[in-house]
Structures are given as C-alpha cells and as structure tokens.
Amino acid sequence: MVVWCPDWSVVAALEEADRSLRSPAAVLSANVVEVCNGPARAEGVRRGQRRRDAQARCPDLLLLSANPDRDARAFEPVLAVVEDLRPGVAALRPGLLAVRAPGSWYGSETAAAATACQALVETGVWDVRVGIADDLFTAEQAARTAEVQSWTVVPDGGSPSFLRGLPVHVLQDDGARGRELVGLLERLGLRTLGDLADLPGDAVEHRLGAYGATVRRRARGEDPTLFAARTPPPELDAEVAFEPPLDSVEAITFSVRTTAERFVSQLAHHQLVATGVRVEAQSDGAVCSSRVWLHPRHFTARDLVDRVHWQLQSAGSTSGAGGSLRARKQVGDVRAPIDRVRFLPELVEPAAAHGEALWGSASDDLVQRGVARVQGMVGFDAVRRPVLQGGRSPGARQALVPWGERAVDLRPVDRPWPGRVPGPAPVRVFATPPAAEVVDDAGREVCVTDRGVVSGEPRRFRVTGRDGTGLPWQPVTAWAGPWPTDEGWWSGGSGPTARFQVVGADGRAWLLVRAPEGWALEAGYD
C-alpha cells in the first residue's frame, strides 16, 4: 500500500509560512519550479519552468524556497499515523510512503485504504490518495490515479494490464534520469508503458542501458524494488505524576529525583546522552511551564533536578505556549499545584562522544556542583560565563551565557568583520567606557572625518570625569589607527566611530574610540 500526499513540499512550506493552502504557490530550487500546487497549475505554472516564466503565468504566485529538512519534519506526523495502523512504514520521500497492505487486519484491502484515508484526514491532511497493488511501482501509480481522499486497488495479478494504458510521462517522477528517458521514448514513438513492455528485453537493455531494462520490468508489473521499513524510534521521555498535586517547589524537586535517574538510565541503555532537554510541568492537565535547557556537555540526574528547581522557582518562568508559572520565593510555593512533570529529550548524542578524560572528571563535577549551589542562592541567570563571538569592537565580541547553559545565537567568529581592531586582544574591557580627551600638538581635539581622515596626530590624552575634571594629561609615544566603522546605521545605531591604539609615556597601551558624542576609553592592554 502506497500513501501519496501530492505537492507535499508546497504544503509544508505554506504551513511553515502560515499561509492558506489555497494560495497559488511553488517551491523553487536554483530559480526553477520544483513543485507547484493545484491553484498554481490552474494558472499555467508547471514543474521545470524558470522563475520569470512562472511569475508571468501567475503574477500572484507565492515563491517558496526548497527545504528537504522542513518537508521531512512535516511528513513525520503522517508516518506516525500510518504506523499506528500498520507497523513497518517506509518513507520513500516526503509526501510518499509505503507499507505492507494490512488487508487481513481490516477485513479487506479497500477497508484498509479507507481507514488510512480517514485517519489522515482527521489529522488535517486533506489531500491524501492511496494505491494498493502487487508491487511498489504499480501501487504508486495506482495512488496517483486515485481521487482526493480516495483509493485505487489493483486486483491480485492485475499489475500488467493496469500499467499498459499509462503514458510514459509517469516516469518523469523518477528524477532527471526519468525525464531524460521519457524524452528518448517519445522520440522513438513509444507513448505508453505497454509499448515499452512489448519490446524485447535484450534490445531494451542494449539501447537504453540497465536503467531502461529496470523501467521495462516495472512496466510489465515485475518491479523488483523492495523497501526497508523504518524501526520506530524508542520512547525516551519520562514523567512522574503527583497525586494529590504538589504546591511546594522543594517537594516537587525531591519527588522528581527517581524519574530523572530513570530518564538518564534509559538514554544510557541506548548508548545516548541528552544535551538538550525540555522540562514540562502540568497543572490541572495543562502545561503551565515549559522550557528547553541546553547543557555544554550532557545532563546528569542532578542537573535535571536542578533545572526543575530553577524553572519552578523562577519568577519569570514562561512556557512555550505563552503561559507562565510564578513562584513565591519566600515560602517556595507555586501558584498552581503541579500534578505532572515530564522530561523530553530535545537533543541527544552518542555517549561515546562524551567519554570521560583519562584522569576522570571529579574536579569538573566539584566545580559544577559548587556553581549550582551559588545559582540556587542567587538565581540561574545571575551566574554567567564569558563566551567569545564575532564582532568589531572588544565589547561586541563578548557574550555572557548563564553557567551550565549552551551558548546559542552567537555571531560567527570566522567572518571577516571589516573594521575590527587587530590583535592582540585587550586584557580589560570597560563595561562603561569612561570619557576621554585626545588633542594634537596645537591642543586641538583630534577628529576623524566620514572618510576616515584624522585631523591631526594624537599627542596627548587623558580620562575625564562626569564633572569635566580628569586625570593629568599623558603624552602619546606611539599610536595606530584609525579603524573606522559605521554599525547599525540602518537602525539608529551609534553612528560612525573610529578606534585608535595609543601608548602612553608610562608604557601602558590603551584602546580609544572616537564616536559622534566624543572620545572614550574602551579597553586597556597588558
């Protein structure tokens, strides 16, 4: 049995973009229409058209980018629905799956096809078609001839007669090789699969090669293709229910220890570790707190218990659905009693990739536990570690990440970053750069034009206070720069800035920045 959901790439892309499925749309790859839906075909859009031609046929055409990973993710629920009806599902490609026909389970093959269609329609898949036949190729063609939410059952032994009348154009779905073969068959005057099936086998293999001989066997209903059924993924999540519900953070934290240990143990049984875990808390049957936690190494049972404690005790713990669970830290009680806590693995990796070092990891564990105690006292987000990211200024290259959380959404370090000050990096970067003054030989303030031209050589500089007074002037013995940048001009940023490296008479080096509002001391070198 083959289940076909037409134009699946367009369906998945429209759902991701939150657009109507009735909108004319096409998925493009290399500026060529890869898939288009029914409304687009009604306007004259066809596969293989260039972008400009497709838009000329349908000016309202919604253009979507190809994304095989998105299509596979969106097709996973369809696989799960059919897998519940008959184990042993094989995903041929997004939008097309095969499974051994479960006719004996449902009384007849027609009843099995009707059950599959009904189950998929109830999950929101409106355009679904089913084909049942003796071999995979015939079953796929039978599904393509079925109507919407309907099925075609080819009788036992009836594959050759069913395929004879089909045009050779059905072979175009086999990719570039199929389209090339269709063009050759049409030039040879072969219009139907029956015409191809009637040719001698040795002549077809001599003229069309091994692929042509395989297609001829398919046209005769002798498709030897087998499919490998996927193995259902193991259930790795773990949960604990509280009866009666608990309204104390400490009681909940104590009660989830066994479940956290079971969660880690069952991952270890499959030689896996979790580097990302979603913790969900339910109140009255509804998820009231949900958060994905990331770990720089992998989660242990202690780590999971700590995350539950921090999540429930946080005054700003928000769920993925927009809800929140607020805790009164004074007494450790939650506003709504919790009746269930669930651990769901979001990211898993092989355990072999996280083996311990030669001398173990006892010292690292002690550090982790010590920091966890501090986080328990001052809050999870209050303890942070510095992480290097891409940027032009020393301050922009710093990012602070909560301890125990993986750094995400960082700017890449390996980009060119024009205007970045060359190394070595400064030792100290001021959180709030103090104001400064830089003058030339005549005592005039040194300025930098929009083209990066310096008005004069820096000869003296000093740091000034808020009241206008400052430290004594210091002569400049050496300087380098400027490194001009203009960041964030499209969003009202700081405007054109220029950075200078200067060395004072005492031998200490500093990084000074000239901004529209004046000079500032940004960082210091060792």
Distance, in Å, from the CA atom of 40 to the CA atom of 62, rounded to the nearest integer, reads 9
More confident of the two residues 106 and 114? 114
Span 323-340, average pLDDT: 54
Whole-angstrom Cα distance, residue 85 to residue 67? 29
Query: Does position 421 have pLDDT exceeding 60, yes or no?
Result: yes
Phi, psi of 219 (to 5 degrees): -65, -25
Matching residue, tokens 């143990």: 265
Q: What is the mean pLDDT of residues 392-419?
A: 79
Cis peptide before 244 (omega within 30 of 0): yes
Residues 479 and 185: their CA atoms lie apart, in Å, by: 76
The three-state secondary structure class of 394 is coil
Q: Which of 78, 96, 79, 76 is nearest to 88 (CA)?
A: 79
* Distance of alpha carbon 12 from alpha carbon 199, whole angstroms: 41
Residues whose CB is less than 8 angstroms from the CB of residue 408 and which lie 6 or more positions away in sequence, other chains included: 294
Compute the half-sphere exposure of residue 397: CA atoms within 13 Å on the CB side of its CA.
Answer: 21
The pairing of strands 32-36 and 129-132 is unpaired
pLDDT of 117 reads 92
Structure tokens, 438: 């830089």
For the residues 156-179, what does the mean pLDDT come to? Answer: 86
What is the tens place of the pLDDT at every residue in 490-520?
Answer: 666 567 888 898 898 888 899 988 888 888 8
Kindly state the average pLDDT of the residues 383-406: 80
Is the pLDDT at 321 greater than 50? The verdict is: no
Task: Round to whole Å and give the CA distance between 515 and 288.
Answer: 47
pLDDT tens column, 219-275: 998 877 777 777 766 788 899 999 888 888 888 999 999 999 999 999 998 888 888
What pLDDT shows up at residue 143? Answer: 93
pLDDT at residue 428 greater than cutoff 50? yes
pLDDT (0 to 100) of residue 1? 92
Using the predicted structure, report yes or no on whether residue 325 has a pLDDT greater than 50: no
pLDDT of 369 reads 67
A 10 A CB-CB count for 350 gives 11
- Per-residue pLDDT for 10 more than 80? yes
Count of Cβ atoms closer than 10 Å to residue 78 Cβ: 24
Rounded Cα distance between 300 and 309, Å, is 15
Contact between residue 197 and residue 164 where contact means Cβ atoms under 8 Å apart: yes
What are the percentages of helix, strand and coil residues in the chain, rounded to 5? 35, 30, 35
Please compute the mean of the pLDDT values over residues 453-476 and round it to a whole number: 81
Residues 6+ apart with CB under 8 A from 314: 327, 379, 380
- Residue 257 burial class via C-beta count within 10 angstroms: exposed 0-12, middle 13-18, buried 19 and up: middle
* Mean pLDDT, rounded, for 466-483: 80
**Half-sphere exposure of 13 toward its Cβ, with a 13 Å CA cutoff?**
21
Region of 435 (left: φ > 0; alpha: ψ -120 to 50; beta: rest) is beta
Number of helices (H), then strands (E), in the chain: 15, 24
Is residue 406's pLDDT more than 90? Answer: no
Query: pLDDT band at 347, cuts 50/70/90?
Result: confident
How much is the pLDDT for 491? 60
Q: Is the pLDDT of residue 470 over 80?
A: no
Tell me the one-letter amino acid at 103. Answer: G
pLDDT surpasses 50 at 329: no
Instruction: Share the mean pLDDT of the chain.
Output: 83
Q: Residue 385 is which amino acid?
A: R
Q: Which residues contact 291 (CB under 8 A, 6 or more apart)?
A: 278, 279, 311, 317, 318, 319, 320
Q: Is 231 helix (H, G, I), strand (E, B) or coil?
A: coil
At residue 359, the 3 state secondary structure works out as: coil
Structure tokens at 387: 């992480």
pTM over 0.75: no
Distance CA 471, CA 358 (A): 53
Please say if the pLDDT value at position 361 is more than 60.
no
Q: What is the reported pLDDT for 324?
A: 34
In whole angstroms, give the CA distance from residue 83 to residue 230: 10
280 forms beta bridges with: 290, 342
Please report the pLDDT score of residue 505 as a whole number: 85
* Length of the chain in terms of residues written: 526
Strands 96-98 and 150-153: unpaired
What count of Cα atoms within 13 Å lies in the side-chain half-sphere of residue 42?
Answer: 8
- pLDDT in the model for residue 98: 92
The pLDDT value recorded for residue 18 is: 86
Phi, psi of 220 (to 5 degrees): -90, 5
Least confident span in 33-47, 383-397, 444-458, 496-510: 383-397
Q: Which domains does the chain have, with CATH numbers?
A: 2-153 (3.40.1170.60), 167-211 (no CATH), 238-372 (3.30.1490.100), 428-524 (no CATH)
Q: Which of 411-425, 462-476, 507-521 has the highest average model confidence (pLDDT)?
A: 507-521
pLDDT tens, 90-99? 888 889 999 9
pLDDT greater than 70 at residue 106: yes
pLDDT confidence of residue 52? 92
45-49, 50-54, 226-230, 297-301 — most confident range? 50-54
